Amino acid sequence: MKIGMIGYAFMGAAHSHAWRTAGRFFDLPATPEMAVICGRSADKVAAAAAKFGWAESATDWRAVVDRPDIDVIDICTPGDSHAEIAIAALEAGKHVLCEKPLANSVEEAARMAEAAKSSSARSMVMFNYRRVPALALARQLIADGRIGTVHQVRAQYLQDWLVDPDFPLTWRLDAASAGSGALGDLGAHSIDAAQFLTGQRISAVGGVLETFVDSRPRLDGSGRGPVTVDDAALFTARFDGGAIGVFEATRFATGRKNAMRIEVSGSLGTLSYDQESMNELRFYDGTEDARTAGFRRILVTEATHPYMDAWWPPGHIIGYEHTFIHQVRDFVTGVVDGTELSPSFEEGLQVQRVLAAVQQGVSLRSV
């Protein structure tokens, strides 16, 4: 299975490691070949190819998409190019693995979902946190009824890298490139995780978006430019299955580095997770005798835990990049075996609709 990857920054390193490593630990039905990596700067992408272990580098993504030997297009670029690349790839019959959020607008995402439906090729959105063993286990426990009827979701995705008002104006702070700020970058993960875990879809939302620092130093040194995305997004939500939820996505939570937290409470129990301790899942089983009931810290490192039979003995933890390796495992397996690939572009589109509804906002009531 020959892979062409478009984009080579932070996500490029993570994806490359995943393509290189998945087959060394998992039994895959096909061997990924790291055929070509593509980026705009010839020099930089050539260096990235050497560093990450790709056979070739290229600067024209359309040429990569057109190569008949390429089976898979892996899209790691900023959100504004997802739709164009993904649709071209799908039309060329290439399987597509696309970074999240699916697009920068509902319109783009809808065209992508349509292309995915029309294509004979397969597609998947890279909500990699679904592949955290602890969250995959949480999904199993909820599906098994271990927490009963889901009543409430509390989700936070807390980072702090924008607290410094002189942090520069990167593409992630520009609405044209990134679509939104903390909302799309972080909140999209929380939304997908909430829907994945509960099996319910968010049906209505409302809250607050805020930009605390509205101008920042331009990268080219030409003074300060406007920040056109949110620094923080807070909202409450209703789900179509009767649950309610509260969400916070922020880049201003000083001291919280990558705290993607989600807690789901049901009639029989609660599950709780924090990405900063990604090998742990907290589980309260409300069917236990109150005398000995308590939140259990499940160290998700047993061979019977999702994905963990490929790794180390119990108690030996894994890290962030394993989520990508697991996603590659599931992608390759699903493509070859013809089984479901999840999250689909249709699911990615639904997340986009939630993001759009949050961005449209509601009027709070004055006190």
14 in contact with a copy of itself (CB under 8 A):
yes
Considering only the stretches 38-46, 57-65, 202-210, 327-335, report the one whose residues sit in contact with a copy of itself under the rule CB under 8 A. Answer: 202-210
Is 268 one of the binding residues for a copy of itself (CB under 8 A)?
A: yes
DSSP β-ladder status, 150-158 and 259-266: antiparallel
Binding residue for a copy of itself, selected from 44, 67, 224, 238, defined by CB under 8 A: 238
Tell which one of 316, 336, 337, 340 touches a copy of itself (CB under 8 A): 316
Residue 7's contacts (CB-CB under 8 Å, 6 or more residues apart) are 38, 39, 75, 76, 77, 99
81 burial class (0-12, 13-18, 19+ CB within 10 angstroms)? middle
Give the residue, chosen from 266, 343, 346, 347, that forms a contact with a copy of itself under the rule CB under 8 A: 266
Q: Least distance to a copy of itself from the beta carbon of 63, Å?
A: 26
Tell me the two tokens of residue 346.
């249709």
DSSP letter at 128 equals: G
Binding-site member from 68, 120, 220, 290 for a copy of itself (CB under 8 A): 290
- According to CB under 8 A, which one of 70, 259, 328, 349 is a site residue for a copy of itself? 259
Q: What is residue 236's DSSP assignment?
A: E
> How many residues interact with a copy of itself (rule CB under 8 A)?
109
**Pairing mode, strands 2-6 and 72-75:** parallel
C-alpha distances out from residue 114 to 61, 108, 110, 118, 123, Å = 21, 10, 6, 6, 11
User: 275 exposed, middle or buried (CB, 10 Å; 0-12, 13-18, 19+)?
Assistant: buried
**Which of the residues 138 through 177 are near a copy of itself (CB under 8 A)?**
141, 146-147, 151-152, 154, 156, 159-161, 163
What is the footprint of a copy of itself within residues 30-59 (CB under 8 A)? 51-53
Whether residue 316 contacts residue 97, with contact meaning beta carbons closer than 8 Å, is answered with: no
Q: Among residue numbers 64 through 123, which ones bind a copy of itself (CB under 8 A)? A: none
Q: Pick from 19, 61, 235, 345 the residue near a copy of itself by CB under 8 A.
A: 235
Which of residues 65 and 318 has its CB atom nearest to a copy of itself in the complex? 318
Instruction: Report 324-353 residues binding a copy of itself (CB under 8 A).
Output: 350, 353
Q: Does 218 bind a copy of itself (CB under 8 A)?
A: no
